[in-house]
A and B are shown apart, each in its own frame.
Chain A
Amino acid sequence: MQTTSKSGNAFTNNPIVKAIGLQRIVVVLAVILEAVLFSILSPAFRQYATVVSILDYSYYISFMAIGVTFCLISGGNDLSVGTGMICYALAGGFLVQQMHMPVWVGLIVTIAMGLIFGVINGVMVAIMNLPPFIATLCTMLITRGFGSIITGGMAVSWPSRSSPDGWFRSMFKIINNGKIIPVGFLIVLLAILIMSIVLNKTKVGRYIIAIGSNKEAARLSGVNVIKYQMMAYIISGFFAGLAGIAYAATFSSSVAPGTGAGLELDAIGGAIIGGTSMTGGSGSIIGTLLGVFVMSLLKTGLPYVGLQANWQQIITGIVLIVAIYIDVLKNKHTA
Chain B
Amino acid sequence: MGEVILTMKGIDKSFPGVHALDHVDLEVRKGEVHALMGENGAGKSTLMKVLTGIYSKDSGTITYEGREVEFHNPREAQEAGIVIVHQELNMMNHLTVAQNIFIGREFMKGKLIDDAKMNAEANKLFQQLGIDINPAEKMGNLTVGKQQMCEIAKAISHEAKVIIFDEPSAALTEAEIEELFKIIRDLRAKQLGIVYISHRMDEIKVITDRVTVMRDGGYVGTLITEQCTKDDIINMMVGRVIYEDPKTASTVPPGAPVVLKVEHLNAGKMVKDVSFELHKGEILGFSGLMGAGRTETARALFGADPKESGDIYINGTKVDIKSPQDAVKHGIGYLSEDRKRYGIVVGKTVAENSTMAHLKDFLSGVFIDKKKENDVTQKYVDRLKTKTPSVDQLVVNLSGGNQQKVVLAKWLVRNCDILIFDEPTRGIDVGAKSEIYHLMNELAAEGKSIIMISSEMTEILRMSDRIVVMCEGRKTAEIDIAEATQENIMHAATLR
Instruction: Give which listed residue, B93, B99, B142, contacts A206 with CB less than 8 A.
Output: B99
Distance, CA A214 to CA B89, complexed state (A) = 11
B313 → A minimal CB distance (Å) = 29
Taking the complex as formed, is A281 at the interface, i.e. its CB lies under 8 A from any CB of chain B? Answer: yes
Are the CB atoms of B92 and A201 closer together than 8 Å? no
Are the CB atoms of A209 and B143 closer together than 8 Å? no
Contact yes or no, B143 A2, CB < 8 A: yes
A4 interface residue, CB < 8 Å from B? yes
State how many angstroms separate the Cβ of B139 from the closest Cβ of chain A.
9
Q: Mark B104-144, 1 if CB is under 8 A from A, else 0.
A: 11100001110100000000000000000000000011111
Q: Are the CB atoms of A213 and B92 closer together than 8 Å?
A: yes
B295 touches A214 (CB 8 A): no
Q: Who on chain B is nearest to A4 by CB? A: B269
In the bound complex, do residue B113 and residue A206 qualify as a contact, i.e. CB atoms below 8 Å apart?
yes
Q: Is B337 a contact of A1 with CB atoms below 8 Å?
A: yes
Name the A residues within 8 Å of B246 (CB-CB). Answer: none
B74 with A220: CB separation less than 8 A: yes
Contacts of B337 in A (CB 8 A): 1
* B355 part of interface (Cβ distance < 8 Å): no
Contact B92 A217 (CB under 8 A): yes
Interface digits, A56-89 against B, CB 8 Å rule (1 contact, 0 not)? 0000000000000000000000000000000000
CB of A276, distance to nearest CB on chain B (Å): 12
Please, which residues of chain B bring their CB within 8 A of the CB of A201?
112-113, 115
In the assembled complex, the Cα of A213 lies from the Cα of B95 at a distance in Å of 8
Residue A203 contacts which of B75, B91, B106 (CB distance < 8 angstroms)?
B106
Tell me if A35 counts as interface (CB < 8 A to partner B).
no
Asked whether B242 is an interface residue with its Cβ less than 8 Å from the other chain, the reply is: no
A214–B93 CB distance below 8 A? yes
Give the chain A neighbours of B291 by CB distance below 8 A: 2
Residues B104 and A223 in contact, CB atoms below 8 Å apart: yes
CA distance in complex: A212, B94 (Å)? 9
Given B75, B95, B141, B269, which contacts A210 in the complex, CB threshold below 8 Å? Answer: B95
Is B54 an interface residue when CB atoms closer than 8 A count as contact?
Answer: yes
The B-contacting residues of A in range 202-247, CB under 8 angstroms, are: 202-203, 206-207, 209-210, 212-214, 216-223
B-side interface mostly: loop
| CB closest residue in chain A, given B268 | A4
A221 touches B95 (CB 8 A): no
Are B93 and A202 closer than 8 Å at their CB atoms? Answer: no
In the docked arrangement, what's the CA distance between A203 and B93, Å? 17
| Given A3-B141, A281-B92: A221 in contact with B112 (beta carbons within 8 A) | no
Cβ-defined partner of B94 (8 Å) among A207, A219, A282: A282
A217, B85: Cα distance in complex, Å: 11
User: A4-B269, A221-B74 known; A203 and B142 CB under 8 Å?
Assistant: no
Interface size on A, residues (CB 8 A): 27
Contact A220 B144 (CB under 8 A): no
Interface centre among A201, A221, A282, by most chain B C-beta atoms within 10 angstroms, is: A221
Determine how close the nearest CB of chain A comes to the CB of B94; give it in whole angstroms: 4
Q: B143 touching A1 by the CB < 8 A rule? A: yes
Shortest Cβ distance from B290 into A: residue = A2
Q: A2-B143, A3-B142, A197-B112 are in contact. Are A216 and B295 (CB under 8 A)?
A: no
Interface residue B397 (Cβ < 8 Å from any Cβ of A): no
- Please give, as numbers and ranges, the residues of chain A lying within 8 Å of B93 by CB-CB distance: 213-214, 281
- Alpha-carbon distance A281/B115, docked complex (angstroms): 18
A281 and B143 contact, CB distance less than 8 A:
no
Q: Does A5 contact B (CB under 8 A)?
A: yes
Docked CA distance A282–B90 (Å)? 17
Is B404 among interface residues, defined by CB-CB distance under 8 A?
A: no
Is residue B78 within 8 Å, beta carbon to beta carbon, of the partner chain?
yes
The residue on B at minimum CB distance from A6 is B141
Give Cα A202 to B105, complex, Å: 12
Quick check: B142 and A217 within 8 Å, CB to CB? no
Say if the beta carbon of A163 comes within 8 Å of chain B: no
What residue of chain A has the Cβ atom nearest to residue B52's Cβ? A220
How near does chain B come to A250, taking the closest CB pair, in angstroms?
32
- The answer to whether A202 touches B95, judged by C-beta atoms less than 8 angstroms apart, is no
Does any Cβ of B come within 8 Å of A9's Cβ? no
B247 within 8 Å of A (CB atoms): no
Given contacts A1-B295, A203-B113, A220-B54, contact A209 B94 (CB under 8 A): yes
Which residues from A are CB-within-8-Å of B141?
3, 5
Beta-carbon contact of B73 and A222 below 8 Å: yes
| Interface contact B112-A202, CB-CB below 8 Å | yes
Interface flag for B86 (CB, 8 Å) = yes
User: Is the CB–CB distance between B91 and A217 below 8 Å?
Assistant: yes
Q: Give complex CA distance A201, B94 in Å.
A: 15
- Please name all residues of chain B whose beta carbon is closer than 8 Å to the beta carbon of A281 when the two chains form the complex: 92-94
Most chain A beta-carbon neighbours within 10 Å: one of B75, B78, B86: B75
Task: Look across to chain A and name the residue whose beta carbon is closest to the beta carbon of B77.
Answer: A222
Closest beta carbon of chain B to A6's beta carbon, Å:
9
Chain B residues contacting A4 (CB-CB under 8 Å) are 269
Q: Give the interface of B toward A (CB within 8 A).
A: 54, 73-75, 78, 86, 90-95, 99, 103-106, 111-113, 115, 140-144, 171, 269, 290-291, 295, 337-338
Can you show 13 pairs from A to B with CB atoms below 8 A apart? A1-B337, A2-B143, A2-B290, A4-B269, A202-B113, A206-B99, A206-B103, A206-B113, A217-B91, A220-B74, A220-B86, A220-B90, A281-B93
A interface list, Cβ under 8 A from B: 1-5, 197, 201-203, 206-207, 209-210, 212-214, 216-223, 281-282, 334
